[in-house]
Structure 1
Amino acid sequence: MTATTYPQGATALLCIDPYNDFLAEGGKMWSALSEVATSVGLHDNLAKIRATARGVGLPIFILPHHRHEATDFSGWAHLTPSQAAAHEYQLFAEGSWGGKWYDGFGPDEGDIVVKEHWGASSFANTDLDMQLRQRGITHVIFIGLIANTCVETSARQAAELGYHVTLVRDATAAMSPEAMHAAHEINGPTYAHAILTTAEVMAQLGAKDAA
């Protein structure tokens, strides 16, 4: 892929599902994600890229999954397998510790928290597209979880809507190395404009400590 530049005032960092259930020891999905997350240095990379974005004035958008309640999906005809599993485990349950932001990765002052998504796409039935366009955003950098589900689905739709899309291969995780490989080596190159490491994104953004 060709070198990517990120226009000031038109680039945003999009962080998907920074919940305890994904990122914290004791979270409902941490045991399934921990091997890959640890291998790529997920927590450190998320912290670095978020700090870099703030340092260069990029807006940060938090893209949260719906926080489950026991009565969700009552009467629904076509739950996806992921929705059914998440509902069974009450992932990110409303009012629970697992449904709270992981310490340091939730919204800070000035961040934009978009409406919760019910499926894998952060665009479907939310205000994300409107929030981005109203702020003149054309370039979106995706981080968060999970690489081959919510990140991939959201990033694909961003590309379909005309945004310039960057995936950050070590600022996400999946439940297996094979899923990570599929997300970044097989599927990602069919739609993403750039697939970079955290250090590469930081360098492109002009961070002094990108090495």
Structure 2
Amino acid sequence: MTTKVYPADATGILFIDPYNDFLSEGGKLFPRLKETIEANNVLEHLRQIVAAARGAGIRIFVVPHHKAEPTDFATWKHPTPYQLASAKMQVFQKGSWGGEWHPDFAPKEGDVVIKEHWAQNGFANTDLDQQLKQHGVSRVIVIGMVANTCVEATGRFAMELGYHVTLVTDATGAFGPEMMHAAHVLNAPTFAHAIVNTSELLASL
């Protein structure tokens, strides 16, 4: 009997930041991501992975960034330059189209929507670790945006917490090919147990 690499009862998809501002034409950051999204056929790969996971009974955990409000960081002592720039643009603005889910990736019944993270790590100050443990998940498959920030930070911390981490290289994007290279070729081997493309993942599912 062959042991499944991704048993449904122990595996979770971490779908990070599936917002319109990242993934849809007209999104505030889509122009900066468009090159890598189109070069890697990211939207279609995300659709394939989500469909395959649901078909295999693998639960999807949506890991969203904080929805922006005008007063964010106004009284913070140590906001980062990225946070200040995002606040100025009101990326994922609360109540706006950009802060809504891409229509192909809205959560469905059975999915778990994690509390919003403020920076890059989907575990920091959220319930992600608790939700994974309560659902019996020990293996995570990380997809979404952005490769060298939230995807990497979340995947790296998942490894630190003892999860088996799979990174899907063509189911994420970045603000340029050099950032994709850094995230996948230089950094991913330091935390990911498996680095695969969508075709390889689907074959395993």
Query: Which TM-score applies when normalising by structure 2?
Result: 0.97
**Corresponding residue for residue 186 of structure 1:** 186
**Corresponding residue for residue 113 of structure 1:** 113
**Corresponding residue for residue 88 of structure 1:** 88
Q: CA RMSD in A?
A: 0.8
1:66-124: per-residue Cα shift (whole Å, max 9, x none)? 00000111210101121111111100000001000001112011110000000100000
Provide the rounded CA distance (Å) in 2 between the counterparts of 1:131 and 1:195: 24
**Corresponding residue for residue 75 of structure 1:** 75
Residue 62 of structure 2 corresponds to residue 62 of structure 1: yes
Consecutive unaligned residues of structure 1, counting only runs of 5 or more, are 206-211
Residue 29 of structure 1 aligns with an amino acid whose one-letter code is: L
Residue 21 of structure 2 aligns with an amino acid whose one-letter code is: D
Q: Which has the higher helix share?
A: 2
Residue 147 of structure 1 aligns with an amino acid whose one-letter code is: A
Q: How many residues align?
A: 202
Q: Is the 8 A contact 1:62 1:106 kept in 2?
A: no
The alpha-carbon deviation at position 191 of structure 1 amounts to 0.8
Residue 94 of structure 1 aligns with an amino acid whose one-letter code is: K
**Secondary structure at the counterpart of residue 165 of structure 1:** strand
**Corresponding residue for residue 97 of structure 1:** 97
Residue 94 of structure 2 aligns with an amino acid whose one-letter code is: E
Provide the rounded CA distance (Å) in 2 between the counterparts of 1:32 and 1:11: 32
Q: Is the 8 A contact 1:143 1:172 kept in 2?
A: yes
**Secondary structure at the counterpart of residue 15 of structure 1:** strand
Query: Which TM-score applies when normalising by structure 1?
Result: 0.94
Using the aligned pairs only, state the percent identity. Answer: 56
Q: Is the 8 A contact 2:8 2:59 kept in 1?
A: no
Provide the rounded CA distance (Å) in 2 between the counterparts of 1:74 and 1:34: 31
Provide the rounded CA distance (Å) in 2 between the counterparts of 1:201 and 1:66: 29
- 1:1-211 → structure 2 map (5 Å cutoff): 5-205=5-205
Provide the rounded CA distance (Å) in 2 between the counterparts of 1:43 and 1:105: 10
Provide the rounded CA distance (Å) in 2 between the counterparts of 1:127 and 1:54: 22
Q: Which runs of 4+ in 1 moved over 6 A?
A: none
Provide the rounded CA distance (Å) in 2 between the counterparts of 1:188 and 1:110: 29
